Amino acid sequence: MRKSGRDKDQLREIIVTPGFVKNVPGSALIQQGDTRVVCAATFDTKVPHFLKNGNKGWVQAEYSMMPGSTGNDRIQRERQRINNRHIEIQRFIGRSFRTMFDLQRIQGVTITIDTDVLEADGGTRCASINGGVVALVKCLRKMVYESIIPDIPRMKLIAAVSIGILKNEILADLDYKEDFEADADINIVSTEHEEIVEIQAFAEESTIPKSLFNQVIEIGVKKNLEIIDILKKHV
């Protein structure tokens, strides 16, 4: 039993509020335990320069933490500062979204999912993906309604979860204190068909045995199926 009272493989409570931001094509507030992230999806009828001669669209993400998201230790707004952490995270999020459907189905269109962390208690990048999935699907529906695209692309829903290793024990969906104490933190993104999208593994002054890593992947994919079942109720 963990300090929070959860079992080792138990997710934090997940609450999704679709349409949290009313004046955008797609949005959601996601709460995973005490982590809260607002996700807003918007579209533009143009594509990045590297796709101008192509026949597909693009999906990208932006990630930021609000100044008070970590408590009294105020985080400065990104604005024009270069922050390697937030760039790495938003690329991770964007890559994940681009696996959900064939980008040729939104030819000439760029969809941007902004993910803003209101309160951070671990797993913010994973919560951003999970809430962003809902915002993205809502945005696609709006694009069909406005005749920007002819129909909804066939999609594979995805989800993300943080799995930690602490003293050779595997813990699912880490909160901040567990993340701080963990010997390793592995973020796993996978589809509703149990396909791996991306894995990020971070070890701190330790290594991860291959046998244990394989168990982590199995648990992560299983937990993502649970998250996808929750997301399906809101897309």
Q: If pLDDT is split at 50, 70 and 90, which confidence band does 3 have?
A: confident
150 belongs to a structural domain = yes
1 belongs to a structural domain = no
Tokens of 231: 């997301």
> What whole-number distance in Å separates Cα of residue 228 and Cα of residue 95?
18
140 belongs to a structural domain = yes
Q: Count CB neighbours of 216 within 10 A.
A: 21
Location of structure tokens 């690329």 = 91
pLDDT at 78 over 70: no
Indicate the average pLDDT of the chain: 93
User: What number is the average pLDDT over the span 110-129?
Assistant: 96
4 belongs to a structural domain = no
Q: Of 161, 166, 169, which is closest to residue 203 (Cα–Cα)?
A: 166
pLDDT in the model for residue 80: 54
pLDDT tens digit string along 182-235?
999 999 999 999 999 999 998 877 888 899 999 999 999 999 999 999 999 999
pLDDT tens digit string along 17-62?
999 999 999 999 999 999 999 999 999 999 999 998 889 999 999 9
Q: Who's near 70: CB < 8 A, 6+ residues apart? A: 120
6 belongs to a structural domain = no
pLDDT in the model for residue 2: 84
Q: What percent of the chain has pLDDT over 70?
A: 95
2 belongs to a structural domain = no
CATH number at residue 76: 3.30.230.70
Q: If pLDDT is split at 50, 70 and 90, which confidence band does 83 have?
A: low
Range of the domain at 157: 14-234
pLDDT in the model for residue 123: 95
Reported pTM: 0.93
Helices 84-97, 124-145: axis angle to 10 degrees equals: 50
9 belongs to a structural domain = no
175 belongs to a structural domain = yes
Phi first, then psi, for residue 46 (nearest 5°) are: -155, 165
As for how many domains the chain has, the answer is 1
Q: Count CB neighbours of 87 within 10 A.
A: 13
Tokens of 27: 């949005």
Tokens of 74: 């105020």
